[in-house]
């Protein structure tokens, strides 16, 4: 379906981004991986996807907290592949604390990586996508782009902002062959959430397994985690012809969290 398309997935050395990269590669999309980690492990991921799906995969370690590095990631991809079809703005970090104790440096880091990186990426990618008359921009927001929780001031602000950005870009690109949508996952069991499970286990003096259950019980009516593969499937759907007229939306994949 997406043969010969080229996709950048930011933050794809782990968790949801890695799941999305796998699902797009399955559809024969060439992939630009991005994110931090051990160089040997990243190379194993890169060559593994390339071998398994017979697509071209390159790694670019651009730091998403730096706007000029994000813009260079887009430019380098276009230079390398001659095109850019799909941009998945996925890289993200989390930090939790009450607002009056929230360290300003953490606030800035979360806003830079979870929101401003998407702005820089979109700004650099849209002209190329418009020229091609086809493009898909998918911003991985969160249920926290739609509703709030305590102790997540920066994250909730960034994710709500990301959905706002999605709507503006959806309008500005409407009718050009380019769409821009947000995906809003509920709990997904990745390293980002594992830390929150660990914190809860310590705080409540319960096992990791009970903490994971408690986390789900608090918010996610299905009582099941969303998987990175399911989110990869959602991204693939948004890249399919069935989604040609879907733009500027925020699609919840959250086991019923935001239906409450
Ligand atoms: P993760 O920690 O498993 O992966 C984060 C990825 O981002 C990693 O590849 C990491 O190296 C990369 N990254 C972090 N800082 C970076 C930087 N400055 N430059 C480049 N790459 C950087 O987390 P995840 O759970 O897979 O989260 C991915 C996205 O999904 C995030 O935007 C997160 O907010 C969102 N999300 C996660 C959940 C969840 O329950 N896990 C729910 C909703 C939304």
pLDDT at residue 77, as a whole number:
98
Judge if 87 and 209 occupy the same domain.
Answer: no
The pLDDT tens digits for 129-146 are: 999 999 999 999 999 999
At 110, list the tokens.
């979360």
Enclosing H/E stretch for 233: helix 228-238
248 in contact with ligand 1, CB cutoff 6 A = no
How many domains in the chain? 2
Phi-psi region of 255 (alpha: psi -120 to 50; beta: other; left: phi over 0): left
Per the structure, the complete domain to which residue 175 belongs is given by: 6-187+227-259
In a domain, 110, yes or no: yes
Alpha helices, H only, 4-97:
15-26, 39-53, 67-81
CATH of the domain at 80: 3.40.50.720
Enclosing H/E stretch for 217: helix 208-219
In a domain, 1, yes or no: no
The DSSP call for residue 94 is -
187 in contact with ligand 1, CB cutoff 6 A = yes
Say if pTM beats, i.e. exceeds, 0.95.
yes
Contacts within 8 Å (CB) and 24+ apart, 196-202: 196/94, 196/96, 199/96
pLDDT at residue 98, as a whole number:
98
Strand partners, 179: 136
Judge if 105 and 214 occupy the same domain.
Answer: no
Judge if 100 and 143 occupy the same domain.
Answer: yes
Judge if 204 and 131 occupy the same domain.
Answer: no
Q: Which atom of ligand 1 is nearest to the CA of 185?
A: 43
Q: Which of 93, 91, 59, 89 is nearest to 76 (CA)?
A: 59
Mean pLDDT of all residues in 47-74: 98
Strand partners, 137: 87, 180
Judge if 254 and 204 occupy the same domain.
Answer: no
pLDDT at 59 over 80: yes
Average pLDDT value over all residues in the chain? 97
pLDDT at 1 over 80: no
pLDDT at 53 over 80: yes
- Give the residue, by CA position, lying nearest to ligand 1 atom 31: 92
Residue 21's pLDDT band, with cuts at 50, 70 and 90, is very high
pLDDT at residue 118, as a whole number:
99
In a domain, 152, yes or no: yes
pLDDT at residue 117, as a whole number:
99
Mean pLDDT of all residues in 61-82: 98
The pLDDT tens digits for 150-191 are: 999 999 999 999 999 999 999 999 999 999 999 999 999 999
Which residues have C-beta within 8 Å of that of residue 52, sequence separation ≥ 6?
25
Q: Is 155 a catalytic residue?
A: yes
Q: What proportion of the chain, given as a percentage, has pLDDT over 70?
A: 100
């Amino acid at each position: 379906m997406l043969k010969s398309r080229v996709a950048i997935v930011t933050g794809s050395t782990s968790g949801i981004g890695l799941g999305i990269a796998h699902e797009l590669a399955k559809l024969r999309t060439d992939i630009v991986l991005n994110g931090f980690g051990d160089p040997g492990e990243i190379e194993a991921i890169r060559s593994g996807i390339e071998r398994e799906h017979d697509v071209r995969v390159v790694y670019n370690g651009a730091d998403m907290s730096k706007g000029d590095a994000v813009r260079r990631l887009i430019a380098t991809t276009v230079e390398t592949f001659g095109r850019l079809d799909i941009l998945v703005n996925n890289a993200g970090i989390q930090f939790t604390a009450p607002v009056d104790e929230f360290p300003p440096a953490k606030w800035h880091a979360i806003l830079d990586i979870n929101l401003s990186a998407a702005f820089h990426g979109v700004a650099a990618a849209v002209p190329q996508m418009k020229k091609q008359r086809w493009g898909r921009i998918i911003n991985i927001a969160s249920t926290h782009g739609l509703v709030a929780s305590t102790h997540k001031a920066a994250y909730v602000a960034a994710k709500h902002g990301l959905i706002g950005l999605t709507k503006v870009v959806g309008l500005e690109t409407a009718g050009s062959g380019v769409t821009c949508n947000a995906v809003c996952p509920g709990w997904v069991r990745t390293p980002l959430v594992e830390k929150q499970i660990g914190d809860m286990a310590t705080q409540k003096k319960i096992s990791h397994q009970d903490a994971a259950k408690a986390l789900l019980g608090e918010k996610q009516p299905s009582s099941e985690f969303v998987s990175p593969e399911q989110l990869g499937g959602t991204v693939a759907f948004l890249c399919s012809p069935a989604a040609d007229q879907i733009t500027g939306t925020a699609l919840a994949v959250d086991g019923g969290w935001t239906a409450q």
